[in-house]
Amino acid sequence: MILLVTFLFASIFFSIGVFAQPEPNYNEEAIEPYVLPELLTLSNGEKIHTAEDWELKRRPEILDFYKNEVYGYHPETILQRTSVKVVEESDSALNGHAIRKQIAIIYESNGIQLTINVLIYLPNDVTFPPVFVGYNFYGNQSVINDPNIVLTDSWVQNNADSSITEHRVTEDSRGKRSHRWPIEKIIGEGFGIATIYYGDVDPDRNDFTDGIHPFFYEDGQEKPSNHEWGSISAWAWGLSTVLDFLKADELLHDSSFILFGHSRLGKTSLWAGALDTRFDMVISNDSGCGGAAIFRRKYGETAAIINQSFPHWFNKNFKKYSHNENALPVDQHMLIALIAPRPVYIASAEDDRWADPKGEYLGGYYASPVYELYGKTGLTNSVMPATNEPIHHTIGYHIRTGGHDVTEYDWEQFISFARKHLND
Contact residues: ligand GTR, CB under 6 A: 160, 263-264, 288-289, 301, 306, 309
37 cis-preceded (ω within 30 degrees of 0)? no
Instruction: Fill in the DSSP letter of residue 75.
Output: P
Whole-angstrom Cα distance, residue 39 to residue 58? 8
CA distance 341 to 394: 8
What's the full length of the chain, in residues?
A: 424
Q: What share of the chain is helix, strand, coil (3-state, %, to 5)?
A: 35, 20, 45
Catalytic residue among 173, 231, 263, 348: 263
Smaller CB separation from ligand GTR, 130 or 139:
139
212 and 229 Cβ atoms separated by less than 8 Å? no
**97 CB-near residues (< 8 Å, 6+ apart):** 123, 124, 125, 184, 187, 188
* Least Cβ distance, residue 296 to ligand GTR (angstroms): 17
| Catalytic residue status for 404 | yes
Q: CA-CA distance, 101 to 86, in Å (whole number)?
A: 7
**CA pair distance 160, 170, nearest whole angstrom:** 17
Which of these is catalytic: 90, 240, 256, 404?
A: 404
Q: How far is the CB of 287 from ligand GTR (least distance, A)?
A: 8
Question: Cβ closer to ligand GTR: 131 or 289?
Answer: 289
Instruction: Give whichever of 140 and 263 is closer to ligand GTR, judged by the CB atom.
Output: 263
179 catalytically annotated: no
Shortest distance, position 79 Cβ to ligand GTR, whole Å: 30
Which helix or strand (DSSP H or E) is residue 347 part of?
strand 344-349
Q: Which residue is nearest to ligand GTR (CB)?
A: 263
Q: Which residue, 295 or 371, has its beta carbon nearer to ligand GTR? A: 295
Distance CA 359, CA 8 (A): 40
Smallest gap from residue 310 Cβ to ligand GTR (A): 7
Between helix 231-248 and helix 264-275 the angle, nearest 10°, is 60
Smallest distance from ligand GTR to CB 198, Å: 10
Q: How far is the CB of 23 from ligand GTR (least distance, A)?
A: 14
Please give the positions annotated as active site: 263, 404
